[in-house]
Amino acid sequence: MILLNGKKLALEIQSEIKKEVDLFKQASITPGLAVIMIGDDAASQVYVRKKAEACKEVGIYSVVHEMPENIKEETILNTIKLMNENSNINGILVQLPLPSHINQTKILEAIDPKKDVDGFHPFNIGRLVLNLDSFVPCTPLGIMKIFEEYKINLEGKNVCIVGASNIVGKPMLALLLNANATVDICHIYTKNLKNHTKRADIVIIGVGKAGLITEDMVKDDAIVIDIGINRLENGKISGDVDFENVSKKCSYITPVPGGVGPMTIAMLLSNTLKATKL
């Protein structure tokens, strides 16, 4: 069993990004990222802080617009408009989830597609599905980078994605199809999940349910990518996979923490650099 060390790979990628950012700065250009965070969700605050710290480490200018839970939709849209028009801001992201009174689709569509470093704008999702150059959502892109780093050939592989979200599952599906894999995507209404995961050469899961994937649900030498992050009652962090037992059967597996999470942030920095080049 080989651990897919996303933390190590992310640090290597961030080192290369810093070199490119330094070159931009020599030309008096500083890549800029704007984050809009609404409300005081604890998990969102942690993610935003980590993103800001990563930006600082590589030399990307970042600004966080913190807004109260009861903010008006119009105020958010006005802020996005200002960021779209600000030439010092190359990337814009809105931290999800949003409060229930805010129309998420409307907010995400307001972002200039050329500054959509989260890759959630329908313009970029459409180009991704058609296998055209676009901004790709950071978590699926990070997973593809892990496959590339460990020379895992996806062509002809049977892949089971567990979780069909717009943020991870659906863009992951498009990336895998573009890489000529055969893809099975499961969700909350899927019957007998084990029938799907057991057949897969690669299982990718991100649903936020600790220990959902157990040893009997994967075949020998499977590759398992665990996107889930769950805090257990004892305070420890766990993924969606029963790591201790599933890892005994795997050829490759991502740890939690230290697997996909660091790659998500690295890809955000990479997308911000790409937006600066554009």
Cα dihedral 70, 73, 77, 83 in deg (nearest 10): 10
| List 14, 51, 145, 170, catalytic entry | 51
User: Residue 40: beta bridge partners?
Assistant: none
Crossing angle of helices 6-26 and 138-149, rounded to 10°: 110
Alpha carbon distance 144, 179 (integer Å): 10
Residue 65 CB partners (closer than 8 Å, separation 6+): 34, 35, 36, 37, 79
2: buried, middle or exposed (CB in 10 Å: 19+, 13-18, 0-12)? exposed
SS3 of 260, please? helix
Beta strand 202-205 with 158-162: parallel, antiparallel or unpaired?
parallel
- Picking from 201, 159, 163, the residue whose alpha carbon sits closest to that of residue 176 is 159
| List 14, 115, 116, 118, catalytic entry | 118
Residue 17 CB partners (closer than 8 Å, separation 6+): 58, 266, 269, 270, 273
Q: Does the annotation count 51 as an active-site position?
A: yes
Name the residues annotated as catalytic: 51, 95, 118
